[in-house]
Homo-oligomer: A and B are copies of this chain.
Amino acid sequence: MNIRTSDILVCGKSIKECLADIEAFHGFTAPGLVLGTFMVDWARELVGSDVEADAIVETRHCLPDAIQIFTPCSFGNGWMKVLDWGKFALSLYDKKTLEGYRVWLDLEKARQFPNIYNWYMHLVPKKELPLEVLTGTMIEAKREVLSSCAIRVTQFYESPKKGKIEICSGCGEAYPAVQGSQCLTCQGKGYYEKCQVSGVGS
A78-131 residues with Cβ-Cβ distance < 8 A to B are 78-79, 82-89, 91, 99, 101-102, 104-108, 120-122
- Let me know if A174 and B27 touch, CB within 8 A: no
Q: How far is the CB of A44 from chain B (nearest CB, A)?
A: 14
Find the residue from A68, A201, A202 having the highest chain B CB count within 10 A: A202
- Check A27 against B107 for contact (C-beta < 8 Å): no
A12 at the interface (CB under 8 A from B): no
Residue positions of A touching B, CB distance < 8 A: 25-28, 30, 33, 46, 56, 60-66, 68, 72, 74-79, 82-89, 91, 99, 101-102, 104-108, 120-122, 146-157, 160, 162-163, 165, 167, 172-176, 179, 183-185, 190-197, 200-202
